[in-house]
Amino acid sequence: MEDGEAVARAPRSTRAKAGRGCDVPLGVILRQIQEVVSRSLKLNSSAVARIGTLALAMEKAEPKPRRRST
């Protein structure tokens, strides 16, 4: 099922929220995925390292909050 189909079939309240973003940075989400994958799935170290590399790249790409000059 395509994502668009899933949204179209969802209740109205869910559809209203579908376009909103997530407040959690993608790099943080990827770090958590890496941790779970490395513990539970026992994947080879190169797969876990790739997830970590991607997480690091996403963390660096996240915009930093601007400081207010006083």
pTM, rounded to two decimals:
0.40
Query: Contact, 33 vs 22, CB < 8 A?
Result: no
Q: For residue 48, what are its two tokens?
A: 């876990």
Distance separating alpha carbons of residues 23 and 12, to the nearest angstrom: 22
pLDDT 10s digits, 24-60:
777 778 788 778 777 766 666 777 777 778 878 877 7
Q: Which residue has the higher pLDDT, 13 or 29?
A: 29
Domain chopping of the chain, boundaries: 22-63
The distance from CA 44 to its chain's CA centroid, rounded to whole angstroms, is 22
Q: How many Å apart are CA 7 and CA 9, to the nearest integer?
A: 5
Three-state secondary-structure class, residue 31: helix
Block residue for tokens 């376009």: 19
